[in-house]
Structure 1
Amino acid sequence: MHRFFITPEALRGEQVTLTEEIVHHLVVLRLSEGAEIVLLDGLGTLCHCRLTGLAKKTGTATVLVRSKEIERSFPIELIQALPKADKMDLILQKGTELGVTRFLPVQTNRSVPRLEPKREEQRRQRWLRIIREAARQCRRPLLPQLAPLATLDSALAGCQSALRLMLWEEGSHALESVLPQQIPAGAAVLIGPEGGFSSEEVAVARRFGFVPVRFGPRILRSETAGFAAATILQYRYGDLGGAQS
């Protein structure tokens, strides 16, 4: 059954007004009145619904059954320095598929893109759409959070994760050597831009408890390092390896 995300407010009643984005998908899928779909609020609530009205840009649905779905992935915060071009789109899409629970885009000294304030909200809305579509496609019941673009210092200062890892090729530890045997409450993974971190940024990260780690002899790209880290952590502690039942 086709699944779509909608705001928690929209699912409070038994009659649901569908967004234009959802209606567009329904039209493309050639669904009509009477068809049944699943609407999710991104917080774990699922509503089995029947379409009761469908026009070109508007639609309504009636809630038939409400239920809760628990996500068992390991909590991962991905603190990602802005990469070049549209690589952040890929990071958000694949990170969502791999169980990242929160994305924190940051501006670093060597970040090439410099988003203007007037374009930041436009870019944010695009990123949110990418996250929603990726979560819908991979059937996640929860939507990952997307923090506003921040400086590196402010993002690190607000980090609450128990395990804090920084992918850095110099003076770092093998990842396996720093992973605890017991499952931690969650992990934050810090990824630098194409040009890497400056020595000052490495010092700041260390001050906030981030441990520099490496995967092995190869240096991964900024847009793929987070995928590798998320996969390893989900296999070790999350739902990719069966650590959580």
Structure 2
Amino acid sequence: MQATTLNKDLSTFAADEAEILQAITGPLEDQGYAVANIGDISPDTLLSIAYFFGEVIPIGRGNDHITVIHTTSNVGSKNVPLHNDKSYWRIPPKYLILYCRESSGFENNHMHVSDIHGAFEKLSEEEKQSLIDKNLDIFHPSNRSSGKLKGKLVNYLNGDVFYRLRSDTIEKDWEAFNHWDQLVIDNLIEVPFNPGTLLIMDNWKFAHGRRLTSVETGYSRTINRVLIM
């Protein structure tokens, strides 16, 4: 894993913020993602932590720096395929923070993450080259009429690499991609994601998703998402 580039000194943070950062920066550098149970924090604290890693990207109609994602039995009651966020942008966010604010009705509340880059490195040289060479129409996963980006799955930028992985928007008859996608699935990591849990990952190299296999009627979950460049 390439070392994380930090843009602030821990001495500039409040004691509780510095403690959280100390808990997540090491694992993030070593393995590409980090998870910590940090308890209840304010939106301002969440943003302060996020700005340690780079520039927070405001998105949405209100240009909000924190996106609130609310999942209930009526909305989003399905599996979400492994993906990295905003893979249909020309340059996706470098880091992704997910913070669980509220959850009820889950027997096993978790998030799934997987190492896209590690899976790519396990492919044959021929398969890697097939993925590197091919140009694709990259669509928004939930609105194909919103336009498309002609892009690549494997992208090189300033000595680093980023990937676009969203199996539900990419053709299914491509042997090299199917092998890569299967390796990503086979190396799934189940992360406990209860209220007060913060998950940060390298969005260029890691995918995430959910499988709603253990829920009760009337479940709900509220997540705060922050995108960082």
Same fold (TM over 0.5): no
* TM-score, with length taken from structure 2: 0.24
Q: Tell me which protein shows more helix as a share of its residues.
A: 1
* TM-score, with length taken from structure 1: 0.23
Larger Rg: 1
Q: Tell me which protein shows more strand as a share of its residues.
A: 2
